[in-house]
């Protein structure tokens, strides 16, 4: 029996969805809006259309924006659905006319951005699985300020690992931490382990095979091999696994869809890719107002 997938929408705190929706609406409409006065508060029905092929994501965020102004949303396609080329109906929106249009741009921006990230994530996962590699394709913290929760969620919808949501979710010592500490690697690791306590895993970024093996032998949970060439990466990963098989090896730095297969190997557990968020192109969505006698 297959293990059921987690309910990604249920993982999003409702109060956080509401606060994000309010922030986006405040940004877009901080004062009275004259165009709303022209359309009034009569009931209105509209259709959310996808205009780009890809993976649908971002429904919780778009729905939160419309619900914040008193509208309701009925989704016609599930999160993670593949969107074909052309104009595809994905949701029906109902509410006071001024309110439907007030939240339109915030909702479309959210679903467009999330769908773009999910599409990029799905492509990367497909490349990895097509190469016969079963490790984790992950995002990074290279996210849009104020939009991290949505982009991390979208990575998961696309089948990738969101990676750590913030600095505190993994004690990760990167090159600048090690440079600032001005102490031997083993000493810095021990201080960090004590600071994090028993509940947190410990990782360290390494720039050489020697440092990677030293970190593994010091008992870290994750060794991050950053900006290695594919050849150097696989040699370092093999050395880490030979020294400490339980340590997870993560590859990062300069990895994109075109060169991803070069970084996949039997000793690499995770490949993290910043381009899944900072390089993803948003999908195009539109809102079409329906005639009174028209079905969504």
Q: Which residues are known to be catalytic?
A: 142
Pairing assessment for the beta strands 136-138 and 82-83 based on DSSP bridges: unpaired
Q: What are phi and psi of 181, to 5 degrees?
A: -70, -30
Gap between the Cα atoms of 16 and 19, Å rounded: 5
Angle 101-105-111 (CA atoms, 0-180°, nearest 5)?
A: 120
- What is the token pair recorded at 76? 């016609």
Gap between the Cα atoms of 47 and 290, Å rounded: 7
- What is the token pair recorded at 285? 């969505």
Of the candidates 139, 143, 137, 119, the residue with the CA atom closest to the CA atom of residue 57: 119
Of the candidates 123, 112, 121, the residue with the CA atom closest to the CA atom of residue 57: 112
- What is the token pair recorded at 83? 């969107």
Long-range contacts of 64-68 (CB under 8 A, 24+ apart): 64/17, 64/18, 64/20, 64/21, 65/21, 65/24, 65/25, 65/103, 65/106, 65/107, 65/110, 66/93, 66/95, 66/99, 66/100, 66/103, 66/107, 67/21, 68/18, 68/21, 68/22, 68/25, 68/103
Is residue 218 within 8 A of residue 186, CB to CB? The reply is: yes
Gap between the Cα atoms of 244 and 235, Å rounded: 14
């Amino acid at each position: 029996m297959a293990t059921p997938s987690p309910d990604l929408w249920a993982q999003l705190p409702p109060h956080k969805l509401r606060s994000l929706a309010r922030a986006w609406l405040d940004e877009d409409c901080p004062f009275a809006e004259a165009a709303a006065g022209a359309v009034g508060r009569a009931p209105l029905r509209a259709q959310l259309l996808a205009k780009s092929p890809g993976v649908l994501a971002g429904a919780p965020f778009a729905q939160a924006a419309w619900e914040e102004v008193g509208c309701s949303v009925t989704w016609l396609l599930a999160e993670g659905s593949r969107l074909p080329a052309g104009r595809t109906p994905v949701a029906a929106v109902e509410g006071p006319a001024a309110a439907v249009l007030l939240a339109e741009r915030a909702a479309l921006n959210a679903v467009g951005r999330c769908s773009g990230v999910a599409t990029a994530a799905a492509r990367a996962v497909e490349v990895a699985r097509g190469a016969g590699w079963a490790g984790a394709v992950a995002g990074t913290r290279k996210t849009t300020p104020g939009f991290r929760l949505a982009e991390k969620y979208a990575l998961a919808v696309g089948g990738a690992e969101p990676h750590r949501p913030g600095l505190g979710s993994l004690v990760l010592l990167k090159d600048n931490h090690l440079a600032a500490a001005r102490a031997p690697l083993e000493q810095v690791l021990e201080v960090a382990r004590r600071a994090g306590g028993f509940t947190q895993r410990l990782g360290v970024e390494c720039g050489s095979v020697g440092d990677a093996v030293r970190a593994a032998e010091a008992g870290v949970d994750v060794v991050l091999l950053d900006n290695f060439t594919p050849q150097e990466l696989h040699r370092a990963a093999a050395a880490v696994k030979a020294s400490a098989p339980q340590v997870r090896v993560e590859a990062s730095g300069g990895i994109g869809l075109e060169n991803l297969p070069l970084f996949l190997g039997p000793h690499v557990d995770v490949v993290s890719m910043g381009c899944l968020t900072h390089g993803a192109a948003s999908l195009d969505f539109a809102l079409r107002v329906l005639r009174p006698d028209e079905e969504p």
